[in-house]
Structure 1
């Protein structure tokens, strides 16, 4: 019997990843097991100032994502996130938050990601600082993860680096051109499923996973 793993590559500050979350919920509800791996796309050297030009580009994309997925990008997000100058697009703290939630229960990684995404795109909250991410996680009932974000131990940071490293390595191995990306790995051989499958019909996505 082949050994099969479905892996979802993402970044918490990627609007397209937020758009794909409803499809992940359907996969999880139907019993499809998958692992979430962050790529660190918008952290470290990938972080950048959130200037007016980038904000306009992001909002245009966000409107398209909303039409395709039904996921809400609110006025609060536009007013309190995109239109606030002097902030940065840096997913380091949010990625740490998702990974910290995993340390107690691997099944919480998706719940933490969804809480962080909703905080940004619906509630217009700060998820680019450690304090902001910690408050979101605390409000979602993940006090231990919140503490780990505010005062990470060496073990937490090591686990975080390992997960991001795995995500980046798989992203590069697949020659993926962005996130979200979905990979089916059979017997240690990954196959990339086009991100378009995450924004079409659910049956089509399942067919892609089964055929990979």
Structure 2
């Protein structure tokens, strides 16, 4: 298979996106070029309070993701994130951190996404604040991105707006019904790959990419 451009649409606070991360690693290791585009799904108007009903729903869904993918959702996450009232499900800070990490090269986005996901779902850290995300990035060896996040430049904010705008535009163009979503782009024409392919066998995913 030639190496196509694969675009991954995601939100850093999406549990299913966390579940898909090992498959992204395998794609990247196989030589497939992956471009990560955030959609801002859980930021702005998409943010919501972390209330009891949502926490119960999220934990049940997370257990399903863990059974399917092997990605761990710990009790630390359940107690320190889902069961803490007065916080928001708001991905703005995390998404901005990912934009900062990718400012000098898009490869930094996946590294930052994985660090943020681990901080939330494994370590039980609430990464909905700028300072919280900056701490995660700094600990993961991305001090420059952490500094940018805490003192954002106009260059960063412009790049961030463009990145999320691209993600939303592609999401709408594909008529995707949620994240994660994967698209193969050939000759500037994107083709949506069903998200189920991210949660099956790797060979099946590769076959879907090749056929798109």
Q: TM-score band (shorter)?
A: over 0.9
Q: Could you list the per-position Cα deviations for residues 65-84 of structure 1 after superposition, in whole angstroms to 9, with x for gaps in the alignment?
A: 00000000000000000000
**Hey, what does 2:21 align to over in structure 1?**
21
**Hey, what does 1:57 align to over in structure 2?**
57
SS in structure 2 opposite 1:40?
coil
**Hey, what does 1:167 align to over in structure 2?**
167
**Hey, what does 1:202 align to over in structure 2?**
202
Q: Judge conservation of contact 1:3–1:186 (CA < 8 Å) in 2.
A: no
Q: Judge conservation of contact 1:94–1:116 (CA < 8 Å) in 2.
A: yes
Q: Could you list the per-position Cα deviations for residues 153-208 of structure 1 after superposition, in whole angstroms to 9, with x for gaps in the alignment?
A: 11100000000000000000000000000001111111100000000000000000
**Hey, what does 2:43 align to over in structure 1?**
43
**Hey, what does 1:6 align to over in structure 2?**
6
Q: Is there any run of 5+ residues in structure 2 with no aligned partner, and where?
A: none
SS in structure 2 opposite 1:103?
coil
Distance in structure 2 (CA, Å) of the matches to 1:110 and 1:30: 15
Q: What is the deviation of 1:3?
A: 10
**Hey, what does 2:145 align to over in structure 1?**
145
SS in structure 2 opposite 1:37?
strand
Q: Could you list the per-position Cα deviations for residues 92-116 of structure 1 after superposition, in whole angstroms to 9, with x for gaps in the alignment?
A: 0000111100012321110100000
Q: Could you list the per-position Cα deviations for residues 31-87 of structure 1 after superposition, in whole angstroms to 9, with x for gaps in the alignment?
A: 111100000000011001010000100000000000000000000000000000000
**Hey, what does 1:81 align to over in structure 2?**
81
Q: How does 1:115-126 map to 2 (within 5 A)?
A: 115-126=115-126
**Hey, what does 2:69 align to over in structure 1?**
69
Q: Is there any run of 5+ residues in structure 1 with no aligned partner, and where?
A: none
